[in-house]
Structure 1
């Protein structure tokens, strides 16, 4: 095993989750190709600069793109989460947050005149913010700092607007019969998610939450006196665990291909984030 490649244990977990070709001519070994994908997102190199030991770079890229369009890594991630949930290994004290990722000039060269594929956003999750052309990764992780759901948007999108779509992506299938689990026990978030609408959404779904209140909200409530109502419940001890999601982002950005976006399409970049998340889960179960 070389640096940035899958261990035997990780491959034993991932191999059954990947699609197998049943017809056609013999193709390059799956483990060799997946190791090339992992090396690419770990080192942040271009596809053409992949070492020759992973085979033709076009083969690695073509299979990665096929997996991205088919949602292979997302389904594999859900299956590993399902196994962990069946073993009682998921802490449903969920934390949500977002991080900004700078887009490289190669990602910024996406052609937009011809339109986008059906599942591709028109802006390819690229937008202008203070850091220039950026993408924002919205993340929900469990109490042990492992990704549960990911949402990509343009860098200028506000966190609160994306909170509901992010939680609606949280979907952990059951082993055997039963509906997938979509509701956490508790949600921890910073004051960017402190809107009344999001709090009402969580209460409607019966989800407990610990969200820091903004200063202007406190001032407005106090100025209204008795009509301002009670302050939202806030448990300081629970809120101290919010650093778990920051550590999760730190581990994801250990992959140089995640810390800087080189992929032109949002589908490919989201597949890279899902593959990195898959490796974090494989190394923790």
Structure 2
């Protein structure tokens, strides 16, 4: 086993959720070697062509990553390992935190052809195709934003990739609705945490109404101008929204989740041209966080 490769315990938890090996033409002879090659590229951030020869042909590794990003295989694997953790009572539902992070996009991430969406298995478009390719332009250059919801043990429950200029509040509902952990004993998947915390960027009436409608207790810090406007209206301004300062202190958990994801250099800096491939790259990093067992 090389440095950074999947351990025996990690492989034992991951293997049951991988697609079956093909028969014709010896397709997919060794998932383990290929996935270790994908993780090497995630950690080191090297070009696909520079992968060490011990992982096999770089084209094989890249194509499997691209295909599994296109047809949603990586997302299915992430959901499966989350379900395993939930069955073992290793998911902290007591509170989740929502936040986002900016990733600088390398110059190699730009220049994708403005054509019809690439076609994946059976002619279907990629599961996470985006016409803007998730790239935003600012004075600092090209950027991409990762939005995620993290559980108490600092692992992602749901994530989205958008252009860097996207405001956090506009995709809050979409991020929370990404939380969908199946129950192995049957029944509806779990989609609602016991509580939620978020920073000032998510302080608006629409988000608070959405959380009340779903009966999710929340601690979202109110913006200074919102406090001023409410007080200026007197009794017509209504009461201040409920805020639990002790719960809000746990918001650092999502910051630490972001830090863990950005330990993968291919996540901290985007090299993938296509948005759905970069979403797959982030999902692969999230899978690794779920495979690690904490004492």
Q: TM-score range by the shorter chain?
A: over 0.9
Structure 1 CA distance for aligned equivalents of residues 136 and 151 of structure 2: 28
Which residue is 2:58 aligned to?
Answer: 57
Question: How far did 1:176 drift?
Answer: 2.8
Report how far residue 128 of structure 1 moved. 1.5
CA distance in 1, matches of 2:273, 2:155: 26
1:206: which partner in 2? Answer: 215
Could you say which residue in structure 2 is the equivalent of 1:189?
A: 198
CA contact (8 A) 1:28 1:55 kept: no
TM-score by length of 2: 0.94
Question: Residue 25 of structure 1 corresponds to which residue in structure 2?
Answer: 25
Query: Distance in 1 between the 2:166 and 2:232 partners?
Result: 30
Offset of residue 25 of structure 1? 2.2
Give the structure 2 partner of residue 15 of structure 1. 15
TM-score normalised by L of structure 1: 0.97
Label 1:189 to 1:130 Cα distance change in 2 as closer, same or farther (>3 A). farther
2:100 paired residue among 92, 95, 98: 98
SS in 2 for 1:182: coil
Q: Please provide the CA RMSD for this pair.
A: 1.1
| Partner of residue 172, structure 1 | 181
Structure 1 residue 2 and structure 2 residue 7: aligned?
A: no
Pairwise mapping of residues 82-97 of structure 1 onto structure 2 (< 5 A)?
82-92=83-93, 93-97=95-99
User: Within 5 Å, which residues of 2 pair with 1:86-165?
Assistant: 86-92=87-93, 93-112=95-114, 114-117=115-118, 118-119=125-126, 120-165=129-174
**Which segments of structure 1 move beyond 6 Å, counting only runs of 4 or more?**
none
Q: 1:130 to 1:200 in 2, by over 3 A?
A: farther
Contact 2:21/2:29 (8 A) holds in 1: no
8 Å CA contact 1:194, 1:211 repeated in 2: yes
Consecutive unaligned residues of structure 2, counting only runs of 5 or more, are 119-124
Separation in 2 of the partners of 1:75 and 1:176? 18
Between 188-197 and 73-82, the greater mean CA deviation after superposition: 73-82
